[in-house]
Amino acid sequence: MGRSQPFYGLQARGIDGILRPHETIEEMATAYLPEVRALQPHGPYVFGGYSGGGLVAFEMAQQDRSQGDDVGLIVLLDTFPPTIAHRKTTLKSTFERLHHGAFGYIKHIFGRRVEMRRRARMRARLDEILAANGVVPGELRDIHLNDAFGDAAAKYTRQPWRGRVVLLRATDVAFAFEGIGDAYGWDEVVEDGFELVQVPGNHDTLVLEPNASRLVDLIRDTLEATRHLTSATQSSGSGAHTEAARPGAVPTS
C-alpha cells in the first residue's frame, strides 16, 4: 500500500488454540474497535475485510457510527453474504451447472465429498479436545476457526448502511457463489454509495500474484477517490479541508 497509507491487520481470537473464538460477528466487531482506536482515537476510518472478514468490517463500521464516529469507506474483498451459510443447492441450479460446465462441476462435487470426509474426522477429534477444555493443536486450528466463523456469519443480519462501500469482487465466481447476484446482495443493503469493481482471479487467487498487484492498485484508486469525495464535501459544506479516511483496519477470515 505504500508508506503514506497506514494499514493494520486484526488477528482473530482463538488463533493461538487457547482462547475460544468469538461466537458472533457483533462480538468480533466490539472486541476489535478498541484496537483500532488505540492507534487512532477518532475517525474517519477505512474499514475493510477479505472474504468473511468483510462482514466483521461492515459491523465495525456500523458500531463505530452508532457511537458517533465517522466512517469514510468500507472496502469488501470478495465478501459473501452471510446467507451463503444457509444456501442449499437446488435441482434447477444443479442442472444449470451441469449444462454450463459438467466436468468442472462433477470434479467439484467429488472433491468436496472427499474433503467433507476428511473434515468429519478432524471435527470428531476437535470435539473431544474442546470437551476436555484442551488446547487446540496447530493442525486443527484452521477448521476450528473456520467452523466458528461460519456459525457466526450464519447468524449475522446486515443492517442498512448509507455511505461509501466498494466491493472488489473476483471475476471467477465459485459454484457456491453462483446465483446470488453480481454484487452478492450488498447493493440491497447499501442505500447510497455502493460500487462494484471486478478483480482478476477467483476467491483465493485474487489476493495472490499476479492478481494481488492489480488488487492493490484498485484499493489505492478507491482510497484516493474517497479522499477527493470527502474533501469536496467538506469544502462545499464549511470551506475547511482536512485529510480524510487515512487508516485502514482489515479483519480477515
**132-179: per-residue pLDDT in tens?**
999 999 999 999 999 999 999 999 999 999 999 999 999 998 655 666
Domain hosting residue 160, numbered range:
8-85+151-251
- Please indicate, yes or no, if residue 238 is contained in any of the structural domains: yes
**What angle separates helix 25-39 from helix 138-155, to the nearest 10 degrees?**
110
**pLDDT, tens digit (0-9, with 9 covering 90-100), for 64-122:** 999 999 999 999 999 988 876 544 444 444 444 444 455 555 565 667 788 788 888 98
Q: For residue 195, what is the domain's CATH number?
A: 3.40.50.1820
- Please indicate, yes or no, if residue 129 is contained in any of the structural domains: no
- Please indicate, yes or no, if residue 24 is contained in any of the structural domains: yes
Q: Output 190 or 99, whichever has higher pLDDT.
A: 190
Give the integer Cα–Cα distance in Å for 71 and 68.
10
- Please indicate, yes or no, if residue 19 is contained in any of the structural domains: yes
- Please indicate, yes or no, if residue 100 is contained in any of the structural domains: no
- Please indicate, yes or no, if residue 203 is contained in any of the structural domains: yes
Number of domains into which the chain is organized: 1
Give the integer Cα–Cα distance in Å for 43 and 246.
9
